[in-house]
C-alpha cells in the first residue's frame, strides 16, 4: 500500500445545498468532479491520508473578525458556518499534531469578505481563513501566521482584516487589478500603522504561466517567509489561475500548482476560487493533495495539457522579474518607508469605496487607525451603504495598551446617535458589543 510521507488531513465540504444561482460559477457542483477524481485515484486508500468532518463555526467566531450588518444571523448561512468550520478543523488538526498538514476542500469561499459585511462580495460573505486564524488564536495567543494567497483575484478581504496586524503576514500574488476584479492589490497597499510592511501585493500580468508564478515564489515569497519566520504558513489556495478558468486570464497548470505547493510547504491549505470545475479543479486538487502528502505528483496532468502551447512569453517573464524586484525591495525598505509615510502622525485615515458585486450594494468607508507607540492602536470604521445602514465600528486590537482600550470603550459609549448601528470588537478580552 502507498504511504504518505506527510500525514495529511482532508476536510471535505462541497455544500451541495448552497449556490448563488443555478448558472453561477460558484454553484453546487463546483466540487463534484473533484470528489469523483479523489476517489477514482484511490486517495482514501493511501496510508497517512485521512478524511475528517468539519465542525460548525458559531456567531462568536464570526464576530471576532467581522461587523455583519445588521447582525451575523441576518447575513450568514449554515453553509458558510460549516465552510469556516472546515477551515477551523484543519487548523485544529495541525495544532493538535493529529496530522502534519491539512487541506480544507470547502465552499463557499471567503477571501473577498472584509471587516464590514453587508452582503455577498466576490462570491464571499465571511472570510473563512480569518475566522479560522482568530479562533485558533484564542488557544495559541502569540501565533505568528503567514498567509500566501495564490488565488487569481486579489485577496482584498483578507488584506482588509489583517491590514493593521504585523503578526499576520499577508502575501497575495494575483492577476493585476487593472485587468481583473476586484481592482485592488497594488504595491502601495502596504498595511496600517500597526502592520506597516506586512501586507504585500504582487500584481502579475495576464498570461503569466508556471515560470512566472514559480519565479515569484522563489525570489520573493520564500525569501520573505525565511526572514519573517512564521509559526504557521497558510495557503489561501485559489485555483483560478488555471489556463482553463472561465473568468480569468492566466496560464497556470495542475503540475504548476503541485510544484508551488511542494516548494511553499504550507501547514494548511484552504480552497478559495477556481471555476473550471471539470478541466482544472479535479487535477489541481489532486496535485495539491499529493504534494502536501509528500508523494509523487509528476504524472498529474490535464487531458489537454500542452507544455509548448502554455509556454510563457519572454516579455511577460521580464515584467514578472521587475515586479518581483519592486516588491522585495519594498519589503527590505519597510522601516524607511514607515518613517516617510507614518511616523509623526497621530492617525492614519483610509477612505474606501466597496462594491458588493453579487448583491449590487455600494459602501463608502472611512477607516481611522491610531498611531500608538505602545500597541497597534485602536481603529474605527465609519461605513454607509446604499441599503440605508450607517454604522460605526470600533476594534481594540489584541495587543492594545490601556489607553487604547479606554479610548475604544469611550468611542463606543459616546457614539453619535446618527448611526443606525454601533459595534465594538474588544480583542483583548474576546468580547463583542452591538447597539
Whichever domain contains 143, its CATH number is 3.40.800.20
* Per-residue pLDDT, 365: 98
**Are 379 and 164 in contact, with CB atoms under 8 Å apart?**
yes
Alpha helices in 44-155 (DSSP H): 59-63, 72-75, 78-95, 128-136
Do 309 and 261 share a structural domain?
Answer: yes
DSSP string for 315-380: HHHHHHHHHHHHHHHHHHTHHHHHHHHTTT-SEEEEEEEEEETTTTEEEEEEEEEE--SSSS--EE
Rounded to whole angstroms, how far apart are CA atoms 323 and 119? 34
Q: Is residue 280 part of a domain?
A: yes
Q: Could you tell me the maximum CA-CA distance found in the chain, to the nearest angstrom?
A: 67
DSSP string for 127-156: -HHHHHHHHHTTTSTT--EEEEE-SSS--H
- Report residues of the chain scoring pLDDT below 50: none
Q: Is residue 164 part of a domain?
A: yes
Do 367 and 315 share a structural domain?
Answer: no
Do 389 and 310 share a structural domain?
Answer: no
Sort strands 101-106 and 3-13 into parallel, antiparallel or unpaired.
parallel
* Per-residue pLDDT, 11: 97
Q: What are the distances in angstroms from CA 280 to CA 148, 235, 275, 287?
A: 21, 18, 8, 11
* Sign of the dihedral through C-alpha 110, 116, 119, 120: negative
Q: Is residue 341 part of a domain?
A: no
Do 374 and 301 share a structural domain?
Answer: no
Do 286 and 359 share a structural domain?
Answer: no
**Domain ranges, residue 151:** 3-334
Q: Is residue 340 part of a domain?
A: no
- Domain end, chosen from 276, 311, 334, is at 334
Q: Is residue 339 part of a domain?
A: no
Strand partners, 421: 391
Do 20 and 155 share a structural domain?
Answer: yes
Do 267 and 403 share a structural domain?
Answer: no
Q: Give the closest residue to 369 by CA, choosing from 382, 359, 356.
A: 382
* Per-residue pLDDT, 24: 85
* Per-residue pLDDT, 405: 98
Do 380 and 301 share a structural domain?
Answer: no
Q: Is residue 66 part of a domain?
A: yes
* Per-residue pLDDT, 256: 96
* Per-residue pLDDT, 227: 98
- Domain end, chosen from 275, 308, 334, is at 334
3-state class (DSSP) for residue 424: strand
Do 258 and 361 share a structural domain?
Answer: no
* Per-residue pLDDT, 109: 95
- Domain end, chosen from 288, 314, 334, is at 334
Report the domain count for the chain: 2
Do 218 and 309 share a structural domain?
Answer: yes
Do 364 and 316 share a structural domain?
Answer: no
Q: Would you please indicate which residues are annotated as catalytic (active-site) residues? A: 112
Q: Is residue 267 part of a domain?
A: yes
Do 368 and 306 share a structural domain?
Answer: no
Q: Is residue 175 part of a domain?
A: yes
Amino acid at each position: 500500500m502507498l504511504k504518505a510521507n506527510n500525514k495529511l488531513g482532508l476536510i471535505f465540504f462541497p455544500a451541495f445545498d448552497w449556490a448563488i444561482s443555478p448558472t453561477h460559477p460558484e454553484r453546487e457542483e463546483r466540487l463534484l468532479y473533484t470528489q469523483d477524481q479523489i476517489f477514482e485515484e484511490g486517495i482514501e486508500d493511501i496510508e497517512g491520508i485521512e478524511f475528517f468532518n468539519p465542525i460548525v463555526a458559531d456567531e462568536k467566531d464570526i464576530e471576532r473578525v467581522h461587523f455583519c450588518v445588521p447582525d451575523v444571523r441576518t447575513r450568514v448561512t449554515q453553509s458558510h458556518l460549516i465552510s469556516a468550520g472546515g477551515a477551523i478543523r484543519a487548523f485544529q488538526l495541525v495544532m493538535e499534531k493529529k496530522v502534519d498538514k491539512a487541506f480544507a476542500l470547502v465552499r463557499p469561499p471567503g477571501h473577498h469578505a472584509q471587516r464590514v459585511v453587508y452582503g455577498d462580495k466576490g462570491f464571499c460573505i465571511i472570510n473563512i481563513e480569518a475566522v479560522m486564524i482568530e479562533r485558533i488564536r484564542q488557544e495559541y495567543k502569540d501565533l505568528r501566521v503567514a498567509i500566501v494567497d495564490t488565488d487569481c483575484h486579489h485577496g482584498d478581504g483578507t488584506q482588509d482584516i489583517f491590514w493593521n496586524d504585523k503578526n499576520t503576514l499577508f502575501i497575495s500574488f494575483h492577476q493585476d487589478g487593472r485587468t481583473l476584479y476586484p481592482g485592488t492589490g497594488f504595491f502601495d497597499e502596504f498595511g496600517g500603522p500597526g502592520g506597516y510592511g506586512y501586507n504585500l501585493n504582487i500584481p502579475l500580468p495576464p498570461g503569466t504561466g508556471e515560470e512566472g508564478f514559480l519565479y515569484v515564489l522563489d525570489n520573493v515569497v520564500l525569501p520573505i517567509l525565511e526572514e519573517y519566520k512564521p509559526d504557521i504558513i497558510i495557503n489561501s489556495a485559489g485555483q483560478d489561475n488555471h489556463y482553463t478558468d472561465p473568468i480569468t486570464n492566466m496560464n497556470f497548470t495542475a503540475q504548476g500548482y503541485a510544484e508551488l505547493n511542494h516548494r511553499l510547504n504550507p501547514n494548511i491549505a484552504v480552497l478559495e476560487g477556481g471555476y473550471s470545475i471539470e478541466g482544472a479543479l479535479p487535477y489541481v486538487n489532486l496535485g495539491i493533495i499529493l504534494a502536501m502528502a509528500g508523494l509523487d505528483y509528476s504524472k498529474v496532468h490535464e487531458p489537454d495539457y500542452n507544455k509548448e502551447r502554455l509556454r510563457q512569453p519572454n516579455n511577460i517573464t521580464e515584467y514578472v522579474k521587475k515586479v518581483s524586484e519592486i516588491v522585495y525591495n519594498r519589503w527590505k525598505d519597510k522601516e524607511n518607508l514607515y518613517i516617510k509615510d507614518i511616523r509623526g502622525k497621530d492617525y492614519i485615515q483610509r477612505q474606501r469605496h466597496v462594491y458588493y458585486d453579487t448583491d449590487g450594494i455600494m459602501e463608502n468607508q472611512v477607516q481611522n487607525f491610531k498611531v500608538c507607540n505602545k500597541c497597534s492602536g485602536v481603529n474605527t470604521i465609519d461605513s454607509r451603504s446604499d441599503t440605508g445602514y450607517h454604522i460605526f465600528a470600533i476594534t481594540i486590537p489584541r495587543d492594545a495598551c490601556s489607553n487604547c482600550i479606554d479610548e475604544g470603550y469611550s468611542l463606543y459609549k459616546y457614539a453619535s446617535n446618527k448611526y443606525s448601528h454601533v459595534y465594538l470588537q474588544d480583542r483583548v478580552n474576546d468580547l463583542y458589543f452591538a447597539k
